[in-house]
Structure 1
């Protein structure tokens, strides 16, 4: 069938049928299958390229704000557990709060009468990636130098989150 010889109605009908048939292929399952064929290195490379373009067009502040908004909309299971515990106690907190005038953030920042407290959730990526332990140690050192009291919850402690948060909040420094 020659597309050029078709009437506008025939082209529109054919396009609509093709569009609907094509749309049916984009299911969650087909997308997960396709995504499973892409290597981690390719995802990291593409992510870095996209971030570089965004930074060049809109600046570092814009890129960081977008990244934080995405993080806040997609909390990890560990972060959800901490949010549940803090919400249960009616505590106000700030998620992904920046510290030390840099782009570094803490997972949860709490202002208490006894000082600033921080809760960090070290999930699977903190174990899986080779560079993360050194970066985590650097961050924890910077927080201690700035006078923050820090609770670190690791991926294998997620089930104990509520108890760990209770103990952490109960520990008081002299005002």
Structure 2
């Protein structure tokens, strides 16, 4: 497993070791001890989530203002552009974003720590998106920042109008969003 620091504090791109031959491949998708050692964290995961979305679906930018979830995300089918936004006021990368391609081909994972907003857009015909969460989903604390916020200026690789949920259409502007101290 190779861990690479991103441009955001505490957010890591993880490349698992993949063993493949004519029969297919094998990889260890998660190992708690190795994850904690390589990311210098002490998180454990309490919930696994799995979503399937069609091309052009954009989910996010979601976060929980309390019971903040760290997320270890990956794609098992298809391809997405995945985004993390640092919402921790005390962080030197507060208000900055990082984006990368996660796909069934590259098998990369992204560690999005607590205190970050997260979102993705599906670039392939469909995508299966899996993530481990460090805290339970708490809808009463869930918040959403607009995917096309003029302050964040996320460079989504879009040549089409994204498909949004009603909740995501109502995302707030970053400058008025609740953030972490």
Return the structure number with greater helix share: 1
Q: With a CA cutoff of 8 Å and minimum separation of 6, indicate the structure with the bigger relative contact order.
A: 2
Q: Which has the larger radius of gyration?
A: 1
Return the structure number with greater strand share: 2
Structure-1-length-normalised TM-score: 0.22
Structure-2-length-normalised TM-score: 0.22
